[in-house]
Amino acid sequence: MSMRALDVLIVGGGLHGLSAALHLARAGKRVTVLERSWVGRHASGASAAGVRTLNRPLVELPISLEAMDMWHKIEMIVGNDCGFNAGGQVRVAEDAKDLSVLERRFATVQGAGYHHEELVDRAELLRLVPAISPHCVGALVARRDGAADPHRTLLAFRRAAEAAGVSINEQCGVTAIERAGSDWRVRTEGRDFVAPVIVNAAGAWAGEIASMLGDNIPLGLKASMMMVTERVAPLLNPVVGVAGRPLSFKQSGQGTLVIGGGLQGRADIKTQRSFVDFDELAKGARAAVDLFPCIRFVRIVRTWAGMEAKTEDHQPVIGASPNGNGVFHAFGFSGHGFQLVPVVGAILADLILHDRTSRPIEAFSAKRLMKREAAA
Ligand SMILES: Cc1cc2nc3c(=O)[nH]c(=O)nc-3n(C[C@H](O)[C@H](O)[C@H](O)COP(=O)(O)OP(=O)(O)OC[C@H]3O[C@@H](n4cnc5c(N)ncnc54)[C@H](O)[C@@H]3O)c2cc1C
């Protein structure tokens, strides 16, 4: 391959890197993905894979709803259903106070012109989730939501990207980036790569990559934890969350219960390792048993933590770099980026191919996070 045989280099082989690669390759771009470990090693492989529009911030709703339409035809996009089950997502209220929080959310969403969320009473909640504790009083529901299988999703996006001509290089960590005329030279532990365009989809390490490209973007870190139980008989179809508690609860196709909700473990960015905090995790187990008393003797068989970048306002960074010509960022998904995967790749392809996108992404500019630094 000659030095100039590449149009776009993507740093990071998580789902966002793969999705951008897929959309760009289908539009005729020659794309290479550089992944330090292996595809799906970090957040994308650790994800709960909830496909949720329910309770998303209003600024995310336009792209999240478009992503949801894409999930409903995901097989047409990547040639595999990714294990997506549109069983709905339900946000439960345990008492009148929490119900009033859900009522306010419902009014806000309706007021903004969105109708994907629905307020349901206790009877409908019990119909949707018969195993739920009878003390629950109502819920917000998004019936087209659901969950996918993160590993099937990774494999599907990888295969589709490779079929479109994307070259994926694993064990290929980026160590430095410098300008080479109007191009970028990307140094890895092995060979160098040169391309005019770079996509930064490096997850928890995206801040490091951004600073190599001239952008100083302050980022935090999330280390969300998950636990999985032994298999049980069919218990529920929707994904269940609760107002005011860290819980996301669902049953996989294999019958295991998959329990998360954003409880935080610990992550070490330098050694690229994350750790489970069992005292914290116990809070999630407690919440699960409070909501589903019938599972109190079910055994937990596996736990883990995954890591990714978190921004100050918990909104991602999606868009062109303020300082680096030909650089595009997609990171900082702050614990809810799985659902957005199909649409963010399409947005990056818009920006790289046409210099603009019709999708509303102003709220996701890198600049909003860099302001304080510029003012200092
Ligand atoms: C436990 C957990 C549960 C979650 N649950 C949900 C959910 O239910 N719903 C939802 O919407 N979202 C959820 N998320 C969030 C979602 O999984 C992430 O937002 C999404 O997977 C991020 O994908 P990514 O490609 O940006 O990052 P990653 O998958 O982390 O990919 C980034 C990649 O960049 C690579 N990299 C880093 N530095 C370099 C370098 N220097 N050179 C080369 N490669 C590099 C890394 O090795 C990594 O593979 C969850 C996350 C976690 C951790």
Sorted by where each starts, the structural domains of the chain and their CATH numbers stand as: 8-49+151-219+313-375 (3.50.50.60), 89-143+220-310 (3.30.9.10)
Q: Is the predicted pLDDT of residue 286 greater than 70, yes or no?
A: yes
**Cβ neighbours, 10 Å, residue 322:** 15
* Cα 328 to Cα 308: distance, rounded to the nearest angstrom: 18
Q: Is the predicted pLDDT of residue 5 greater than 90, yes or no?
A: no
Q: Separation of 44 CA from ligand 1 center, angstroms?
A: 4
Q: Separation of 133 CA from ligand 1 center, angstroms?
A: 33
How high does pLDDT run on average in the chain?
Answer: 96
For the residues 248-272, what does the mean pLDDT come to?
A: 96
**Cβ neighbours, 10 Å, residue 268:** 12
Beta-strand pair 183-188/192-195: antiparallel
Instruction: Name which residue sits closest to atom 35 of ligand 1, judged by CA.
Output: 12
Q: Which of 36, 157, 329 to mutate for ligand 1's pocket (most ligand atoms within 8 Å of CB)?
A: 36
- The pLDDT, as a whole number, for residue 371 is 74
Instruction: Show the tokens assigned to 149.
Output: 């299988």
Instruction: Show the tokens assigned to 295.
Output: 């599972």
Q: Separation of 170 CA from ligand 1 center, angstroms?
A: 16
Counting residues of the chain whose pLDDT is more than 90, the rounded percentage is: 96
Beta-strand pair 138-142/89-93: antiparallel
For the residues 22-29, what does the mean pLDDT come to?
A: 98
- The pLDDT, as a whole number, for residue 277 is 97
| pTM, 2 dp | 0.97
Residue 39 alpha carbon, nearest atom of ligand 1: 49
* Cα 114 to Cα 111: distance, rounded to the nearest angstrom: 7
For the residues 137-151, what does the mean pLDDT come to?
A: 98
- β-partners of residue 140 are 91, 119
* Cα 368 to Cα 203: distance, rounded to the nearest angstrom: 19
Gyration radius (Cα) of the chain, Å: 21
* Cα 225 to Cα 46: distance, rounded to the nearest angstrom: 9
Q: Separation of 357 CA from ligand 1 center, angstroms?
A: 24
Q: What digits encode the pLDDT tens for the residues 191-229?
A: 999 999 999 999 999 999 999 999 999 999 999 999 999
Mapped onto helix, strand or coil, the DSSP state of residue 251 is: strand
Q: What digits encode the pLDDT tens for the residues 46-100?
A: 999 999 999 999 999 999 999 999 999 999 999 999 999 999 999 999 999 999 9
282-to-47, 229, 300 alpha-carbon distances in Å: 19, 13, 11
Instruction: Name which residue sits closest to atom 19 of ligand 1, judged by CA.
Output: 337
Q: Which of 153, 187, 333, 348 to mutate for ligand 1's pocket (most ligand atoms within 8 Å of CB)?
A: 333
Instruction: Name which residue sits closest to atom 31 of ligand 1, judged by CA.
Output: 14
- The pLDDT, as a whole number, for residue 301 is 97
Residue 224 alpha carbon, nearest atom of ligand 1: 1
Read off the DSSP letter of residue 299.
P
Residue 173 alpha carbon, nearest atom of ligand 1: 42
Q: Separation of 181 CA from ligand 1 center, angstroms?
A: 32
Q: Is the predicted pLDDT of residue 349 greater than 50, yes or no?
A: yes
Residue 305 alpha carbon, nearest atom of ligand 1: 1
Mapped onto helix, strand or coil, the DSSP state of residue 34 is: strand
* Cα 327 to Cα 350: distance, rounded to the nearest angstrom: 14
Residues with CB under 6 A from ligand 1: 11-17, 34-37, 41-44, 46-50, 52, 173-174, 201-205, 209, 224, 226, 260, 306, 308, 331, 333, 335-339
Q: What digits encode the pLDDT tens for the residues 98-137?
A: 999 999 999 999 999 999 999 999 999 999 999 999 999 9
Q: What digits encode the pLDDT tens for the residues 302-348?
A: 999 999 999 999 999 999 999 999 999 999 999 999 999 999 999 99
* Cα 242 to Cα 246: distance, rounded to the nearest angstrom: 7
- The pLDDT, as a whole number, for residue 373 is 56
Residue 44 alpha carbon, nearest atom of ligand 1: 21
Q: Is the predicted pLDDT of residue 242 greater than 60, yes or no?
A: yes
240-to-54, 87, 316, 365 alpha-carbon distances in Å: 11, 10, 24, 32
**Cβ neighbours, 10 Å, residue 16:** 31
